[in-house]
Amino acid sequence: AQSVTQPDIHITVSEGASLELRCNYSYGATPYLFWYVQSPGQGLQLLLKYFSGDTLVQGIKGFEAEFKRSQSSFNLRKPSVHWSDAAEYFCAVGLYSSASKIIFGSGTRLSIRP
Amino acid sequence: DVKVTQSSRYLVKRTGEKVFLECVQDMDHENMFWYRQDPGLGLRLIYFSYDVKMKEKGDIPEGYSVSREKKERFSLILESASTNQTSMYLCASSLSSGQGRQPQHFGDGTRLSIL
């Protein structure tokens, strides 16, 4: 069955430090992959997506993610975090279906240390 | 930009009440979704709709129903609210083309408390 695993429930990094959030998926074919961010009290906002081609994808707010088929991973990175990046981050995989269903990971909460 | 609007940000209801959560999108999207979000459990799909008057159960449909009479509007109904339905409810919409490539666009959520 398709699944998405985010092994880190909560991560704290210092402002200005680099960030990597981990995501592993289980899917039978080349997946459609997404990263979303949810600020407190808000809905989810799309950060970036991967369908095919270049395995390093750029997103909004300075984020990037790398698809590694051999590791079934799609980790999110940012070279230097800002206090405003504190939020919850969700990795997701899109299913081949007419209704464009998406399976979400359980999320990683990011805190920023001043 | 896609706009998904949920009618209430916060809602407090009593056990046994019939509760309606409304969601409207302005981008002519075919698909609409209702999720609930609970700490540690991520987003769980309750129901989705791929066309007017068409609906399918998601992973946790028990205790809920939905209505989609117009393309832009998707309602979630709690037939008889219970305390275990206290949660954050998120509505989303997406285009149907692309077989899974389409990202979903989310509203800001409704935080529902059942007393």
DSSP annotation string for B96-112: STTTT-PPPEE---EEE
Query: B64 is written with which tokens?
Result: 């809920």
Q: What is the pLDDT of residues B27-58, one digit of tens each?
A: 999 999 999 999 888 899 999 998 898 999 99
Measured between CB atoms, does A59 come within 8 Å of chain B?
no
Phi, psi of A3 (to 5 degrees): -155, 160
Q: Mean pLDDT over residues A33-47, rounded?
A: 93
pLDDT above 60 for B24 = yes
| Cβ within 8 Å of residue B39, ≥6 positions away | none
User: What per-residue confidence (pLDDT) applies to A82?
Assistant: 96
Cβ separation of B98 and A100 shorter than 8 Å? yes
Q: What pLDDT, on the 0 to 100 scale, is given for residue A10?
A: 96
Average of per-residue pLDDT across B11-19: 97
Take residue A89 and report the two structure tokens written for it: 């981050």
With H, G, I as helix, E, B as strand and everything else as coil, classify residue A110: strand
Cβ(B24)–Cβ(B73) under 8 Å? yes
pLDDT at A27: 80
> Residues with Cβ < 8 Å from B97, sequence gap 6 or more?
none
Lowest mean pLDDT of B7-11, B39-43, B86-90, name the range. B39-43
Q: Identify from B99, B110, B111 which residue to disrupt to test chain A contact, counting A C-beta atoms within 10 A and taking the largest count.
A: B99
How many Cβ atoms sit within 10 Å of the Cβ of residue B10? Answer: 10
The residue of chain A with its CA nearest to that of B10 is A41
Q: What is the mean pLDDT of residues A36-57?
A: 92
pLDDT value of residue A42: 87
How high is the pLDDT of residue B42? 86
Q: For A102, which of B40, B90, B104 is closest by C-beta distance?
A: B104
Asked if the C-beta of A66 comes within 8 angstroms of chain B's C-beta atoms, the answer is no
Give the 3-state secondary structure of residue A74.
strand
Residue B37: closest CA among chain A residues belongs to which residue? A106
The whole-number average pLDDT for the span B75-95 is 96
B106 in contact with A, Cβ within 8 Å: yes
> What is the pLDDT at residue A50?
93
Give A18-39 pLDDT, tens digit per residue: 999 999 998 877 788 999 999 9
**Confidence category of residue A102, pLDDT binned at 50, 70, 90:** confident
Confirm or reject contact between B4 and chain A (CB < 8 A).
Answer: yes
